[in-house]
Structure 1
Amino acid sequence: MGVLSMLISITFIFLAGLHFYWAVFGIKDPSKVIPTKETSNKVKSPGKLAAAFVGIVLLFFAFVFINKEIVYVETDWMHYVPIGIGILFIIRALGDFKYVGFFKSAKNSKFSALDTRYYSPLCLLLGALIIILELLS
C-alpha cells in the first residue's frame, strides 16, 4: 500500500505546485479552471491568496499520505484525516449540482467541459483510492 500512498502524495504535490504557480503568475485563462455563471461569460478569478491557501491545503493532504509511510507525526486523529480527505474528494466529484461535479446543471462553459472530462474523474479516482487504501490498511 506504500506505492499507492506515494502516488496519491505525488498527485497532491503536483496539484499544490499548480496552485502555487497560479498564486505567483496568475491564471492565464480563468474560464478553463474556474466555474462561470450561465448568465454571463465573465469569470471572477479568486485572488492569489486563495490560490496559495489551496496549495497549502493540498500540501497538507500530501503530508498526510507521506506520514502513513514515514511516520513523522503519531496522533490518533491522523488515522481519521485520510478518510475525511477521501470523502471530501468524492463529494467534490459528485458536485454542487450547479457548477461543478458530474451532476452539474451548468454545462455550457469551457470549465464545465474540462470538469466533466478531467477534474471530476480525477477527484472521484483520488477519493476512491483513498477510501480503498484506508479500508485495506
Structure 2
Amino acid sequence: MFWGGSTGFSSAIPEVDGRKLFQPSAIGTAIVALLLALSAVAIVLHEGRFFPETSWLARLLKWGLLALSAGMLLRGVGEFRYVGLFKRVKGSRFARNDTRFYSPLCLMLAAGLFYLAW
C-alpha cells in the first residue's frame, strides 16, 4: 500500500549535508492540503460564474485567486538559498527535483491562476 510509505520523502524536503531543514507535521501538511482544496473550489466557483460579477463574493474570489497566484509565484522564485529557481544549495535530490519540477510547476500555476483571476 501507499499509506505510511516514505518513498518520495527524501526528495520532498530541502536538506543540507543529508540533514532535513525541517520536519513537516501532520497538521501542517493537512492545512496545506485543505488550502489547496479550497483553492480548487474557488477556481470552480469563479469560472462557473456562480455569483454575479459585481457581487462582493465574486470580487473576493478574484482577489483570492490573485493572492494564490502571488503565493505560487513567490514559491517558484524561492528564497534564494534552498528553494526556488535561484537557489544556491543545489546538490541534494530535492534541489534537482525543485529545479526540474516543483519550481516550474509553481510558476505555471501562478501564470494560470493570474489568467483565470484577471
The correspondence for 2:19, drawn from 42, 58, 69, is 42
In 1, Cα distance between the equivalents of 2:117 and 2:61? Answer: 12
Residue 66 of structure 2 is aligned to residue 83 of structure 1: yes
Shift of 1:106: 0.7
Equivalent AA in structure 2 for residue 68 of structure 1: H
Shift of 1:126: 0.5
2:11 match: 32
Shift of 1:104: 0.4
Greater helix content: 1
Shift of 1:74: 6.1
The correspondence for 1:93, drawn from 59, 76, 80, is 76
Equivalent AA in structure 2 for residue 32 of structure 1: S
2:96 match: 113
The correspondence for 2:85, drawn from 102, 118, 135, is 102
In structure 2, relative to structure 1, the CA distance for the partners of 1:27 and 1:66 (3 Å cut) is farther
Equivalent AA in structure 1 for residue 101 of structure 2: Y
Q: Does the 8 A contact of 1:95 with 1:102 survive in 2?
A: yes
Shift of 1:53: 1.1
The correspondence for 1:69, drawn from 40, 47, 53, is 47
Can you give the 5+ residue segments of structure 1 that lack an aligned partner in the other structure?
Answer: 1-21
Partner deviation per Cα, 1:5-56 (whole Å, 9 max, x = no partner): xxxxxxxxxxxxxxxxx9x62543422011112xx31224312111111110
Partner deviation per Cα, 1:71-127 (whole Å, 9 max, x = no partner): 279613222111111111111110000111000011010000000000000000010
Over aligned residues, Cα RMSD in angstroms?
A: 2.2
Q: Does the 8 A contact of 2:63 with 2:117 survive in 1?
A: no
Q: Percent of aligned positions with the same letter in both sequences?
A: 30
Can you give the 5+ residue segments of structure 2 that lack an aligned partner in the other structure?
Answer: none
Aligned length: 111
